[in-house]
Amino acid sequence: MNLIVTDFTKMKDNKICLAGIDLESKLLIRPLPYIYTPWALDRGISPGSILKGEWWPKESLLAPHLEDCSYKNLEVDLIYRSVDLFSVLSEICSNSIVEGFGGIVAGSKKMSNTSLVKTSIVTIKINARCSSLSSDSEGKIRVDIKDGAGDLYCDLSLTDYNLLSKLNFDKKQIESFNESIRISNNVNCTGFRGGSNS
């Protein structure tokens, strides 16, 4: 089976959390356990990469992590190159965080009832001109977004490995990134990871 990587998240212990869309079923897949960062970087894996392997649902899945799968024989597919990441994300894009997740109150960063949540990862439409990044006192990068429904979500943590590496916690880089967002004429699709309050 072929998976297009949509999510490449920095985790603890030098590991990466991958997630992606199965190109046949269009189902969201999150292979577990996490992979080691050097293994992923050595193979050039990033959002848009195509992976092949075998995956199957983990036993006793609990909301919101219904996409969790065990896997084996995971490798980069160097032949399968006819897929555009933005096109795939556009197909599965939700208009808002509430629509995408379910079980969450508009504007809230926490899920009020995890049993109602459809997934822990969604792709949502955001208003690029009303979204920005900043760094906090602990040196972490935070993001404020306004989704397609007009709901504002502030002070969300940014964990995308590639963007963190590019910005390198540099305020000038962050300001430059924000400026590029402000002059954008598009309402973009972007992936956001959700978590529970439990």
Domains of the chain, with CATH numbers?
A: 2-85 (2.40.50), 93-193 (no CATH)
User: Tens of pLDDT along 135-191?
Assistant: 877 778 888 888 888 898 888 888 888 888 877 767 788 888 777 766 655 544 454
Distances (CA, A) of 30 to 5, 35, 78, 141, 188: 10, 11, 21, 24, 23
The token pair that represents 135 in the structure block: 């760094």
Give the DSSP letter of residue 107.
T
**pLDDT at residue 103, as a whole number:** 65
CB 194 within 8 A of CB 105: no
- How many alpha carbons lie under 13 Å from residue 125 in its C-beta half-sphere? 13
- Write down the pTM of the prediction: 0.79
pLDDT of residue 191: 46
Return the higher-pLDDT residue of 193 and 43: 43
Residue type at 56? W
Task: Using alpha carbons, list the distances in angstroms from residue 180 to 118, 121, 128, 187.
Answer: 33, 25, 10, 13
Tell whether the model's pLDDT for residue 194 goes beyond 50: no
Average pLDDT over residues 48-75: 90
